[in-house]
Amino acid sequence: MSVDLVPLDGCVPLRTRWQAGEPWIDWCHLGTARFGEPFFEETIGAQLRKPANLLFQPRTPLAVAEAWLVRDPPVPPTGFVFHMSRCGSTLMSQMLAASPRHVAISEAIPIDTVLRPDLNPADLDDETRIRLLRAVVGGLGQRRVGDEERLFIKFDCWHVLDLALIRRAFPTVPWLFLYREPIEVLVSQLKRRGVQTVPGMMPPQVFGIDFAAAVAMPPTDYCAQVLAQMCRAALVQCQGGEGLLVNYAELPEALWTKVPAHFAVDWTPGERAAMAEVLKVDSKSPSFAFVPDAEEKQRLAPEPARLAAARWLEPVYRELEALRFGVPAPSAFASLA
């Protein structure tokens, strides 16, 4: 299959998969539709209601996708957003999506299929994974309308565990990690579970936790450990001094100040106004008005959640906060006081 034989114009990666030991990319035609919905899969799902998009999904080996991207260079990534879940990342990606010259991708399935260990051969080498990731990100950054200038990618929360590899793939792209007061995240997860907090939905191996151990512990503890693993991975990477730490409490102000500064961009007055509009609605359900809930989450926290948050999450949260403020980290014993 040569690059001339696959018209990929207007298509975006839908998933990566393995066929006879070779990596392939499946594509979905998006035309000039924008990634305006809160999540990648909502944008794609709407396109898949068209029968042609179900029936005719281009499929290319990795090398063909790479050749095509060389021929039609995409928008390079402007900034990456990592997060611990339930901490304002969708608000951030929706604000970034508000500008017509921005492409803001939120939790793209094909990025997940590249990074997830359970969807790939156990012996997949980093070089191939990096090639796949670059091809997928390139496909997502394709100039489908023509006026796209910036590409922001908000990853799934568990991808922060792959941060070292992602930085190898994109060494010059600035990135940030968004996090939030532990008990507020934990209460949100217990109220409505994300797949990553349920061992049967996402393999615990993703978080380096043994399956038997995962199902043996109380669900609240597993959830807290998963969140802690993600924060710990971000902390380790941030200690190199390259990443930006953003606390949920700094939203939305951070979007006017430190975030654009870190990504080396600025917003026009029109873009800023469009972003401010996003603040009025619930990011994940834009048809509902946004209602602040931090206080309620604190108030409603059940005792087991408080204990789990204190044991698993508080220490790493304090270390993140210390790093954000540039002060020495509290000693490990402080959390036991």
Partner 1 sequence: MQAGFCRLPLTFDAPRLLADLARISRDDWHAHFNADYHDGGWTGLALRAVAGSAVALYPEPRPEAAYADTPLLAALPEFGQALARFHCPLHAVRLLRLAAGSRIREHRDYGLGFDQGLVRLHVPLVTGPDVEFYLDGERVAMGAGECWYLDLSRPHRVQNNGTIDRIHLVLDCEVDDWLVSHFPSEAEGAAQRLSPAMVAAAAQSSQRQFEAFRDLVLRDAALLAPLRREEEPTRFSELVVETGRQLGFRFTRDDVASALQAARRAWLERTLVS
Residue ranges that bind partner 1, judged by CB under 8 A:
5-7, 9, 15, 29, 31, 41, 45, 48, 50-59, 109, 118-119, 195, 200-203
Q: Among residues 109 and 226, whose Cβ is nearest to partner 1? A: 109
Q: Among residues 5 and 289, whose Cβ is nearest to partner 1? A: 5
DSSP string, 43-112: HHHHHTTSHHHHH---EEEHHHHHHHHHHS--PPEEEEEEE-SSSSHHHHHHHHHTSTTEEEEES-HHHH
By C-alpha distance, which of 208, 179, 186 is closest to 117? Answer: 208
Name the minimum Å distance from CB 50 to partner 1.
5
Name the minimum Å distance from CB 113 to partner 1.
9
Burial of 162 (0-12, 13-18, 19+ CB in 10 A): buried
Name the minimum Å distance from CB 114 to partner 1.
14
The one-character DSSP state at 289 is B
Name the minimum Å distance from CB 70 to partner 1.
19
Query: In the block, which residue shows the tokens 């002060």?
Result: 327
Name the minimum Å distance from CB 23 to partner 1.
16
Residues sharing a CB contact under 8 Å with residue 314, sequence separation 6 or more, in sequence order: 182, 335
By C-alpha distance, which of 248, 323, 253, 244 is closest to 79? Answer: 244
Distance, CA of 55 to CA of 75 (rounded, Å): 28
Q: Among residues 201 and 261, whose Cβ is nearest to partner 1? A: 201
Q: Taken in order 7, 35, 285, 320, is the CA torsion positive or negative?
A: positive
Q: Among residues 48 and 322, whose Cβ is nearest to partner 1? A: 48
Q: Among residues 31 and 270, whose Cβ is nearest to partner 1? A: 31
Name the minimum Å distance from CB 56 to partner 1.
6
Q: Among residues 1 and 236, whose Cβ is nearest to partner 1? A: 1
